[in-house]
Structure 1
């Protein structure tokens, strides 16, 4: 069977520990998580999960697509037994190739065991299509440079939106995932993804419609890409999404290679356009 812990926070961690204590005779195969999560950019306590994996003899598998392996260290640190990455996203950047990778950790017992097992079949799933492989080699050549640029611009944009009076909340590792910083590499950054929710006096739909950037459900492209995440991914299960604090009006932003000044001006203009009525101050009057 499968157990789902949708928030990955301290409470979920305690519930996971309690479940494993209650089912002492159960054999757990693997725990799969993200670092950070999509779309709320939360980061689980990977050190505690590593302890549980060793104690209960299961594999810890981490999807690092949002954080990516240039920013966070999950291999040399020995935190993950396996790291899964969607290479289609930021590693490619162009959105014209389908590819993924699994890195098996030689620094952990389970990682070495999986390496040995995979050596028995070197063509699992048939491998990449030739055209995808060629595209990935070409597209990924400047991945480190693009990653640095996107890290820098995304942090600047997140700071701008976090300080903006018309933005109610920004989900970005710098603000909402303190554990993320513990896994950062020396020159690593917070990645290019964030989500926002506008204040109640703003029209989220108008903001989305007038924001002059590309719209679509993917992420990691060389151009900034925005989507109404919850409505796209959970339209028929909004109650389920809200039970995990994912608002129906959440807007997800994947920052591209544009200069910060360009993006700031576009977001600022969209925010100026979508005000429904003047914002009320905390004292009950209109904010100036």
Structure 2
């Protein structure tokens, strides 16, 4: 499948993912910043015109806006036009959603909720055994594979992940009181979370029977100075990760998109957006801390 050497990324991808794609073997990278139905219409028109893509990279949900692309429609397009769908589900993880039937390759960080303790790093790739591209993907992976994982890191991550299901469900539950809290103040313009907003139904279509909506949300204040004050007085840990057993907050754009911070507000990610990853603490205490 080499009509054109092209890959496409869909939605507001994590900047490091974009950089990896740019440094890869792809000849061209086309970008959709929103992952909306309108942009999927554009993609379909491109494919109908005869142009081909090798792969579509998506996040589900996206990290920072927490929106979800229409994975059912993407799967149908991939089947018709024979391209690989690579999905990153790190923000909510496999405990909450089952997206593997609709993708060819699932990528997930083991550093986040899988570990929870923030004391080890790792990542995983899962190939859909029913993918028509399985043998090609396996050949590419095994052709470049090196076993460099430190044995003690393996022991640590194995120990940390034993109670992942309980931790994820607990963090899911702890998140909703904060969403309700942030929905009330007039100083807050928007709260982003997979359970709310125009793409909530797309996320819900992939949710597991015992799954939930994840523990990551983002908050946008009307006034940047209000966001700065809130962040400064918020008495929780501040750090760049998420999915930890303890609650974390970060002014996301200032870290992840610092060099493009003037360009991203038009995509719904202003410089003063604050990302919060909810942990295992008592939910009443979390609400009190956030409201003070």
TM above 0.5: yes
Q: Does 1:200 align with 2:223?
A: yes
CA distance in 2 between partners of 1:147 and 1:5 (Å): 30
TM-aligned CA deviation for residue 19 of structure 1: 1.9
Contact 1:105 1:112 in 2 (8 A): no
Change (3 A) 1:125 1:5: farther
- Partner SS state of residue 262, structure 2: helix
Alignment partner, residue 209 of structure 1: 232
CA distance in 2 between partners of 1:255 and 1:54 (Å): 37
Q: Give the TM-score of the pair, scaled to structure 2.
A: 0.85
Deviations 1:189-208 (A, max 9, x none): 00010000123396211110
Deviations 1:116-151 (A, max 9, x none): x36855x81324221221111011011111001001
Alignment partner, residue 87 of structure 1: 110
Gaps of 5+ in 2: 1-27
Deviations 1:32-83 (A, max 9, x none): 10100010001000011001111111111110001210100112xx201111
CA distance in 2 between partners of 1:182 and 1:155 (Å): 19
Q: Does 1:144 align with 2:151?
A: no
Q: Give the TM-score of the pair, scaled to structure 1.
A: 0.86
Select the residue among 220, 239, 247 that pairs with 1:224: 247
Contact 1:7 1:244 in 2 (8 A): yes
Contact 2:252 2:275 in 1 (8 A): yes
Gaps of 5+ in 1: 270-288
CA distance in 2 between partners of 1:201 and 1:88 (Å): 31
Matches within 5 A, 1:168-207: 168-176=189-197, 177-178=199-200, 179-200=202-223, 203-207=226-230
Bigger-Rg structure (1/2): 1
- Partner SS state of residue 249, structure 2: strand
CA distance in 2 between partners of 1:32 and 1:127 (Å): 26
CA distance in 2 between partners of 1:201 and 1:74 (Å): 36
Change (3 A) 1:201 1:89: closer
Higher alpha-carbon deviation: 158-167 or 143-152: 158-167
Contact 2:224 2:272 in 1 (8 A): no
